[in-house]
Amino acid sequence: MVRFTSVLLAVGLFVGLTSVSNAAWAEARSAEVSLVATINDNPAFQPVQWKVYRTDGSGTPKTANRHMFTLNNLAPGRYTAVAWVDGSPPRKRDFFVMADTANSIKVPLD
């Protein structure tokens, strides 16, 4: 009976500690996202204003002024990308980032 209890306790500790370390490791993971503004299903190849932010309000918005915008080390979560060219209405695209992924998001401007 004592041996069974010891084995059960050892397994419980191992599983518990592994879960805690996996959870901490998963939170530290990040992703890369490439945003591409398109016109007629081709890259815009003109200056495009970008604003990218987390929908939960955490973090600081990221901005750029080019047709393609790559963000490295994004924390997992839901994001919104807003893109526009001078004289055009802004276009939005919501996307979800998962840990350890590389994503390409197209935002049509037409």
- Give the pLDDT confidence of 3-31 residue by residue, as tens digits: 655 655 555 555 554 444 444 444 557 89
| Eight-state DSSP code of residue 76 | S
CATH number 3.30.1120.10 given to 30-108: no
> Which residue would you say has higher pLDDT here, 30 or 81?
81
| Eight-state DSSP code of residue 41 | T
| pTM of the shown model | 0.71
